[in-house]
A and B are shown apart, each in its own frame.
Chain A
Amino acid sequence: MKGSVSILIGGKAGQGIATIETLLTKGFKRSGYFTFSTKEYMSRVRGGSNTTLIRISNTPVNAPDYKVDIFVPLDEGAFHHARERMAPETFLVAKKGAYECDCTPYECDLEALAREAGTPMVSNTVAAALVFGLLGCARETLAEVLAELYEGDILAINLKALGIGADLAQENGNCRYCLERSAGAGAKTHLFLSGTEGAGFGAIAGGCNFISSYPMSPSTGVLTFLAKHSRRFGICVEQAEDEIAAFQMGLGAWYGGGRALTTTSGGGFALMGEGMSLAGMSETPMVVYLAQRPGPATGLPTRTEQGDLELAMHAGHGEFPRIILAPGDPKECFELSRRAFDLADRYQTPVIVLSDQYLADSAFTLERFALDAVKPAQCFVRSDAEYKRYRVTDSGISPRSLPGYGEGVVLVDSDEHTEEGLITESMRVRNEQNGKRLKKSETIVREAIPPEAAGEGDVAVVGWGSTKYIINEAIQRLKNDKVRVLHFSWVYPLSDAQLAPLRKARRIIVVENNATGQFAKLLKLHGFAVHDQILKSDGLPFFVDELSEKLDLLLKEMR
């Protein structure tokens, strides 16, 4: 029996792949399996070829393999789109003689079967039931999920389709991909959460009560998530006329005492550059959720890349502190989004949560985590009549008051300003205020989160952000004790303490989902020699099998 099974469903946009995904992921999770799903899709509303990968296991897996065990193409385009992902032992669920492949055909005419149920529309339910059965899961579990999605006649037809699919799986009795039962991913002990949902909940936990955004893939999920939950959690939601306004409205909201978020991707963030600079100069907190996709320009709008680290590091003219957090899984999306609000508030400077399409659109099974210490820090003070917004202090942090909160006025200025907040061209004051702003970095860097380490070897395999589980599993498969994986979720600014484990490394290999090795360049700036890099920028995430092979080659060369 295999440790995990990967199922790939492909089809045109609008063919119901999302329904299969919902049915199967909920069904597998309830059957006690660790479930992971991810998708890749084209930038179009209808047609094209999209796939969803579902991977289940009785031990935690939260990363995709390139080669799959079961492939269900819902149309011919999907077959050609993903044929490379089949191995000889891959089950290809398709009509007899439909496709030629070096794989194991599993003959089944989904559409004909769906017609038996009443309408070809339920092909996807037949497919889901068949796959569910092939893995040895009980049809009752899937019926339960269906009953939550549909009602009345539609439910009846879907239940019929489920019966047909499940019967077929049973009749053929092939259990090549049956998994041992797993009690691991319990109904109440584990969450099944996407990066988008993690970031959304994190923002709520961080006290977010205002969001203004301009929609842009793949960041829009967090905007719609917060809109959906706005009534429950008291969030003012406004769609901005452009990204410039989205950021500026957020600054206005923070100035008034709100906790604002804006969501965007690289192209939109480029427009927010001046806003970043204003947040830095005016010392107004701001949180940006930046979900990366491949650029330059419009690039590959619905695909993934870690290509905007340098943009995030450098966006905005002038010199000012900023913090960049790059979560590696939905739990970190939650924790870092929450923390972003407190960091922005405490240091009065912009904080970027750097995710990407892969992480945003992937759902992981994660142990349920505690929400303690959920209370956001309240960093503002009541003003007195003598209040000075930019009072020079040892830490560089000037107590921030709000308009209408106390006895003084709060003057915020984008021009260089006096302690009071009024425009000045005094060089002495310039040096004082500029120094004050930059001094905040000294305290900020003390908060830097150390990289997550696994293994004890002296070859460091370094990653950041969304690649966390992929790299970890790739290394686990190699069972190579020379390696120590170091994964960074706090990517800027880097502290000496954070980098200490790297100093012990004999060799450093950096793995990044981009073409030029942006994090490696940052490490070089800190004086590290990066010996090898594994880079990928074709719009897809790394796959565990693919990365494992590449790492194996590199490590063998080192021998």
Chain B
Amino acid sequence: MSTRFDRIVEDNSWCAGCGNFSILAYLKAALEELGLDPLRCAVVSGIGQAAKTPQYMKVNMFNGLHGRALPVAQGLKVSNPSLKVIAEGGDGDMYGEGGNHFMAAIRRNAGIVNIVHNNMVYGLTKGQASPTSQRGFTTPVQTEGVHVEPFNPIATAISLDASLVIRTFSGNKEHCKEMLKIALMHEGYVLIDIFQPCVTFNKINTFKWFKENVYELPDEYDPTDKVRAFEKSLENHPFPIGVIYKSAPKPTLEVILREESGMSDAPLYASGTDERSLREAMGKYC
């Protein structure tokens, strides 16, 4: 399917068979089907293989530093709330290097879509453990197997009352695209954690493994029940996929900051300095 978000890419650095290709395709399709305008969307990313995603799209891009996509994305959303802002990267980027930003971003509830490609391994640095690697997973560094508890992004996000928490799997085209669309239509912070195989460095959590270890939440599942959602977030083997948690509606960071300062929702570039007011305020220091 061709979309307005396509970019002609001569040299893609992903391995053949990488789950990133699917996620890229579904993201572009979801954006296209929702009728979003590439000029009014921005993808902010960090560093890692997943973080290269916006390099292969036609969309505004801020490809920053490892772990730092979320603060940049929040600054951008506050700066111009009319943009659709996506913060995208891998599990190491978002949950490891950017862990503190991840928690803070959930609590702030800026209207951004946080897409996390979760393959349970480091790709760009060649095969070390990631925060979501399962116990016992051996790597060139964790030679005797991972000895720390895997990070549970879903449970963390629910505990911090994330506005919307989704998990999906890159190997399930319809589900993944549908979940991306739900995420993109949501107002407020969305975590969408996407299980994805790494064909080069993770021989344990393969396409087949994920397929066997996920199940779709049934239609009657109620994501607004927080305690139930938290229970779901603790399930593994198989892991539930779908909209796991949806908080009660709450205001977004960009709205709150503007209300606090009595500002309109216009982009910051349109605001000016009130000279008279400044003169008056400084006059008080006479």
Residue ranges of A at the interface with B (Cβ–Cβ < 8 Å): 187-193, 197, 201, 204-207, 209-210, 212, 229-238, 240-242, 244-246, 248-260, 274-275, 278, 282, 368, 371, 374-376, 378, 380, 402-415, 421-423
Contact = CB atoms under 8 A, between A and B. Distances in A.
B96 to A, nearest CB: 14
Contact of B268 (A248, A259, A368): A259
Interface of B: 38-40, 42, 44, 47, 52, 55, 58-65, 68, 70-80, 82-83, 100-101, 103-104, 108, 253, 257-258, 260-263, 267-275, 277-279, 281-282, 285-286
Contacts of B262: 231, 234
A255 B39 contact: no
A252 B286 contact: no
B281 A256 contact: no
Contacts of A207: 271-273
Contact of B75 (A229, A230, A232, A250): A250
A233 B58 contact: no
Nearest to A244: B68
Given A253-B76, A371-B275, 20 more contacts: A190-B286, A201-B281, A236-B263, A238-B108, A241-B100, A249-B71, A252-B75, A252-B78, A257-B79, A260-B75, A374-B275, A378-B269, A404-B60, A408-B39, A410-B60, A411-B61, A412-B63, A413-B63, A415-B63, A423-B63
A253 B77 CA distance: 8
A258 B273 contact: no
12 contacts: A189-B286, A212-B71, A229-B281, A233-B278, A252-B78, A254-B79, A257-B270, A258-B80, A278-B64, A282-B64, A375-B275, A412-B63
B286 A210 contact: no
B261 A249 contact: no
A253 B61 contact: no
A409 B61 contact: yes
Contact of A232 (B55, B76, B281, B285): B281
A233 B268 CA distance: 12
A248 B271 contact: no
A75 B89 CA distance: 58
A464 to B, nearest CB: 26
Contact of A238 (B47, B78, B273): B78
Contacts, number: 221
Contacts of B263: 234, 236
Q: In the complex, which of the residues B47, B68, B268, B274 has the most CB atoms of chain A within 10 Å of its own CB atom? A: B268
Contacts of A410: 60-61
A244 B71 contact: yes
B59 A409 contact: yes
Contacts of B79: 210, 252-258, 260
B55 A234 contact: no
B63 A238 contact: no
A412 B55 CA distance: 10
B76 A404 contact: no
A372 B257 CA distance: 30
Contact of A409 (B38, B52, B76, B78): B38
B286 A248 contact: no
B7 to A, nearest CB: 9
B278 A374 contact: yes
Contacts of B278: 201, 204-205, 233, 371, 374
B253 A412 contact: no
A204 B62 CA distance: 27
B150 to A, nearest CB: 23
Nearest to B74: A249
A414 B46 CA distance: 9
Contacts of A411: 60-61, 63
Contacts of B70: 245
A403 B260 contact: no
A259 B273 CA distance: 11
Given A190-B286, A236-B268, A408-B39, A255 B75 contact: yes
A374 B281 CA distance: 14
Contact of A403 (B42, B58, B258): B42
Contacts of B71: 212, 240, 244-246, 248-249, 252
A229 B285 CA distance: 14
A236 B257 contact: yes
Contact of A256 (B61, B76, B286): B76
A251 B79 CA distance: 10
A222 to B, nearest CB: 15
B268 A242 contact: no
A204 B76 CA distance: 20
A212 B269 contact: no
Contact of A255 (B76, B260, B272): B76
Nearest to B72: A252
Contact of A257 (B39, B59, B267, B282): B267
Contact of B282 (A191, A212, A230): A191
Contact of B101 (A245, A253, A255): A245
A210 B268 contact: yes
Going nearest first, the 6 A-B pairs with the smallest beta carbon separation are A252-B75, A257-B269, A256-B79, A258-B268, A403-B60, A248-B71
Given A197-B285, A229-B281, A258-B268, A253 B75 contact: yes
Contacts of A245: 68, 70-71, 100-101, 104
